[in-house]
């Protein structure tokens, strides 16, 4: 089964389950208030981290370096903002994990490590024959 389709089905089921469990423990009004509160706090913190990422990217450009981490962070922060706006506790937790720079760096290291491993596998599978060559002349002085 396609991973995206599976996520589209499982995430709402998980969110509904968490709504029911948490709502039965702390009450419906408190649960709804908590969802709105996490969305508001999350969006403001994403904005704060986004501005810090933008400043860091400009600094990297002034140093004449490519701001790769900052570009990836900007995309990750956009995804985190979407996750925080979506109602639900599981998406909020995932969104907050993406917002914090420490966990964001860990996720990026895991992703780049997997991509590097895939790249190494591809390089091993290449049909490349290495060798040396030497120019030889025949008896008339012409190159062979």
| Domain map (residue ranges) of the chain | 3-122
Q: How many CB atoms lie within 10 A of CB 20?
A: 11
Residue with token string 């990422």: 53
Q: What is the mean pLDDT of residues 106-128?
A: 70
Q: What is the mean pLDDT of residues 44-49?
A: 91
Three-state helix/strand/coil letters over 65-98: CCCHHHHHHHHHHHHHHHHHHCCCHHHHHHHHHH
Token reading at 143: 């190159």
Q: Is the pLDDT of residue 125 over 60?
A: no
Rounded average pLDDT over 59-87: 90
Residue 118's pLDDT is what? 66
- Is residue 29 scored above 60 in pLDDT? yes
pLDDT score of 123:
57
pLDDT of 119: 63
Q: 64 pLDDT exceeds 80?
A: yes
CA 94 to chain centre: 12
Does 37 score more than 90 pLDDT? yes
What's the whole-number mean pLDDT along residues 121-125? 57
Q: Which of 3-17, 30-44, 121-135 has the lowest mean pLDDT?
A: 121-135
The pLDDT value recorded for residue 121 is 60
Q: How confident is the model at residue 48 (pLDDT cuts 50, 70, 90)?
A: very high
**pTM of this structure:** 0.70
């Amino acid at each position: 089964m396609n991973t995206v389709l599976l996520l589209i089905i499982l995430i709402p089921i998980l969110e509904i389950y968490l709504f029911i469990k948490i709502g039965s423990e702390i009450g419906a009004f408190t649960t709804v208030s908590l969802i709105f509160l996490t969305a508001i706090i999350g969006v403001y913190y994403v904005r704060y981290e986004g501005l810090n990422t933008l400043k860091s990217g400009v600094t990297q450009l002034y140093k004449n370096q490519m701001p790769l981490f900052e570009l990836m962070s900007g995309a990750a922060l956009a995804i985190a903002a979407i996750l925080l706006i979506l109602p639900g506790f599981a998406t909020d937790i995932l969104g907050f994990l993406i917002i914090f720079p420490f966990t964001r760096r860990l996720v990026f290291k895991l992703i780049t490590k997997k991509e590097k491993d895939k790249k190494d596998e591809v390089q091993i599978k290449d049909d490349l024959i290495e060798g040396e060559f030497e120019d030889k002349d025949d008896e008339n002085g012409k190159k062979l």
